[in-house]
Structure 1
Amino acid sequence: MVRGIRGATTVTANDAEVILTATRELLEAIVAANGVEPDDIASVFITMSSDLNATFPAEAIRTMPGWEWVPLMCASEIDVPGSLPRCIRLLILTDTTQSQREVKHVYLGEAKRLRPDLAED
């Protein structure tokens, strides 16, 4: 069954290395929490809030061993007034035997405010 796994994090600055590091950390946390491997992944969608544009966050994933062939797509978030600034989100579509309730979505740092019902401390 293909399931979606969500995740989000925030960064302190619109800086390429900061964005790449945060994207890598978020992906690694999602993968660890759900026990998925790159070969299980159908695709990864990455969005960033409009105040982040220093780099494509997909570059962080493309350089990770084993992730070279996973389809990646970057996009901008809708600029809604009052939305969380400097936010990076991932949506991973993966083959898994986990039910919707068993999937562990990962929210790091300030992004925990987006889904406090799903964020673990």
Structure 2
Amino acid sequence: MEVTESLLLSDKKLVDKVLTSIQEMGVTVWLDDFGTGYSSLSYLQSFHFDGVKVDRTFVQDIESNKKNQDLVKAIISLANTLKIDTVIEGIETEAQAAVLQDFGCITGQGYYYAKPLPASAFEQQWLNIKK
């Protein structure tokens, strides 16, 4: 389950209780669009997340933008230190995927891998891959 910053702005105790209950059911909880909100770091302090999803705005020109490279490296390092996973969103090219893999990114999503699909089409693709 992905959680956005707007959900976290409400009653912290209630949100924490609900997120914990969801995780106890075996559902992983991710902080979505990490790095774009006002207080993303404080959310990592206040709530337990299984991972962070790094917003695509950091990926668009990652091959040439040193600042974005440094930010993504820092986020991956932070997540590793906190023992949570990282997904990089918005990967659209092989070059972006290669740069991110060099940074230690092991999970990504974006049009480079696949465009959004209905569940039935995904299942069919998965069955074809497994053959």
Q: Same fold (TM over 0.5)?
A: no
TM-score of the pair, normalised by structure 2: 0.30
Q: 1 or 2, which has the higher helix percentage?
A: 2
Q: 1 or 2, which has the higher strand percentage?
A: 1
Using CA pairs below 8 Å that are at least 6 residues apart, which structure has the higher relative contact order?
1
TM-score of the pair, normalised by structure 1: 0.32
